[in-house]
A and B are shown apart, each in its own frame.
Chain A
Amino acid sequence: MIRPLVARLAQMLFVMAGISVITFAIFFATPGSDPSARIAGRNATPETLAAVRLSFGLDQPLPVQYGLLMQRLFITQDLTSFMNRGEKVVPQIVAATPVTLSLVAGAALLWVAGAGLFGVLAALRPGRALDRGLMLLGLVGVSMPVYWLGAVVNLVTQSRFHDSWLFSWVPPLGYIAFADDPWGWFKVLVLPSFTLAVFYIGLYSRVLRSALIEANQQDYIRTARAKGLSERRVLLAHALRTSLVSVVTLFGLDFGALVGGGALLTEVVFGLPGIGKLTYDALQALDLPVIMATVMYASFFVVAANALVDMLYAFIDPRVRDA
């Protein structure tokens, strides 16, 4: 029981180290241009360039530079932006985190409910019109660029039909903190969460349906039917429970990935100042210290979340637990 956990943790640390080396190499060791010019941003003065060189130790060997960057990112946390002079990067990320978490949590709630409903409905009568329709709808959902869907939602709710009774409640784009106004926080997050959830509703309802149909052919389901249980009870109490195991793993991975950067496009379209928006603004300004920091923190979060899911999985699934 303990051995696999330790092994998984060791693997997590290895992957984190690997990611940090790759990120460092991309930003500091790509041939072709001077990293100090890249970090300082557009139209930097010679003084800024000199400051960058000193601050990142660019005159020292690469391993020292790597160590210095890691130290400033994670230990002293005093990495500063050269575009917005003196603005510390790490506190910005910390401040943006609740926004992203709110958005992703809302979306997760919607997609679990939506996918559960659609997946079960489709699996009730495989091959029938309802099943085919829902599955096609799911495929459409996974085929749309999320930022475009967000633009369509904005067009309908902010402009074309904003004055109708249906969408007059929609607040202007932006974010309201939960502590300031819980009801406003809720209203501001409904549509972005829905937009973000559409892709996952499509994906998960398809996954759940396949898992249910596969479970339906297992022996224990035949046993349950033979006991004379109602079809509904067989589906909901027996088939759904086993099917959930695969969905739960997927859910953990996707939730982690969304918090760590996947929600970027949605945040940009709806003007939500989360980690993704922070990255986007830094991209527009070519503010590399901010990008480096968000990339590093977000991917570490994703890797840690994945490791956690794997370990939880061992507790959920007795087949893995006892192996």
Chain B
Amino acid sequence: MTHLVGGPAATPAYAPGLWRPVLRRLRADRGALAAAVLLLAIVALCLAAPLYAARIAQTDPFRSNISGQITVNGAARAVIEDNAEGLGLGQTPIGPTGAASYLLGADSQGRDVAARLLYGGRASLLIATVATLLCMGLGGALGVVAGYFGGVVDAVLSRLLDVLWAFPVYLLAISLSIVAVGSGLHLGPLVIDSGNPLLPAFIIGLVGVPYVARPVRAQVQALRRSDFVLAAIGIGVPTPRILLVDVLPNVSSTLLVLVPLLMAINMLTESALSFLSIGVQAPAASWGTIIQDGLALLYTRPLVALAPGLAIMLTVLSLNLLGEALRDALDPRLAGRRS
């Protein structure tokens, strides 16, 4: 994924202003700026979900409202309308009203799609963020330990990572989820019960660990043999200090580049798991579960499924754009070759 020409030691970590030119290059990248603005807007909107539901839409997006009535342009309408088309037996939720309540219409339970979309985004973003942090923390730690200490530690960890790496992502996530959805997760003192949105976050984070650990391990292995680390060992610097001061700063750019890309992948995995009904559990919603709900209404009220998909696409796209810009900004040589 990243090409490390000449090894990581080529850029000294403590040169004054390693990050300043990176920031400058990022700011000069108009595509990256647009992506950042879009992402921030989406995050802000989703964080404001409770405000939107309470103040603007005035609805509870988690309670079904099958027999409710609302007023649109002065006329009273049922949230779930009887369908006169065909045999006249079906019922159709109200479509987009263009008004504050039910802006994007209702789903099959008579719930406000716009409000659910914002709440769903909150769950999706939260899960992807927690999963990414977990990947980074666990994967980074495993990679550093395996790469630095080598020997038996490395052999055991690397074989374990090999197996996890070779395990198809969806199959591993499905196996973990199907067991966890039934009974929650019990890891010694740590218990996450089945309704908790952190459960999918935990599973997705775990599945992604090798994607972080393997590149970090390779890089730390090279660092371990570099002159400045050998010198630090030689003058008797304690190992934790070497790891913290000499090794970690040198892998920080590798880790940083992975953050937006991993977050993008995690968003897609979360939505897939929720779509398969083994991610976020009802009554909570995420973008994936809303698409799943909307599929039943696809031909009558397509917006229910279309809107969350668009939201996922825009979020993941802006994350990918940011990731790419970050990679180019951290390694201008690469950017020169790319453009």
Contacts and interface: CB of A to CB of B under 8 A. Distances in A.
A207 B71 CA distance: 53
A27 B179 contact: yes
B183 A144 contact: no
Given A151-B298, A151-B309, A26 B179 contact: yes
B167 A30 contact: no
Nearest to A18: B163
Interface in A245-288: 257, 260-262, 264-265, 268-269, 279-280, 283-284, 286, 288
B321 A139 contact: yes
Contacts of B164: 22
Contacts, number: 148
Contacts of A295: 171, 174-175
A67 to B, nearest CB: 19
Q: How large is the interface on A (under 10, 10 to 19, 20 to 34, 35 or more residues)?
A: 35 or more
B306 A261 contact: no
B87 interface: no
B298 A265 contact: no
Interface in B265-307: 268, 271-272, 275-278, 288, 291, 294-295, 298-299, 302, 305-306
Interface residues of A, dominant DSSP = helix
A87 interface: no
A32 B183 contact: yes
B199 to A, nearest CB: 12
Q: How large is the interface on B (under 10, 10 to 19, 20 to 34, 35 or more residues)?
A: 35 or more
Given A147-B272, A291-B178, A19 B163 contact: yes
A291 B171 CA distance: 9
Interface in B144-168: 159-160, 162-164, 166-168
B337 A213 contact: yes
A302 interface: yes
Interface in A139-159: 139-140, 142-145, 147-149, 151-152, 154-155, 158-159
Interface of B: 159-160, 162-164, 166-168, 170-172, 174-176, 178-180, 182-186, 191, 264, 268, 271-272, 275-278, 288, 291, 294-295, 298-299, 302, 305-306, 308-309, 312-313, 316-317, 320-321, 324, 337-339
13 contacts: A11-B162, A30-B185, A32-B186, A143-B316, A144-B313, A151-B291, A151-B309, A217-B337, A264-B170, A264-B276, A286-B178, A295-B171, A298-B171
The 8 closest A-B pairs by CB, nearest first: A18-B163, A148-B309, A33-B183, A32-B186, A143-B316, A143-B317, A159-B299, A31-B186
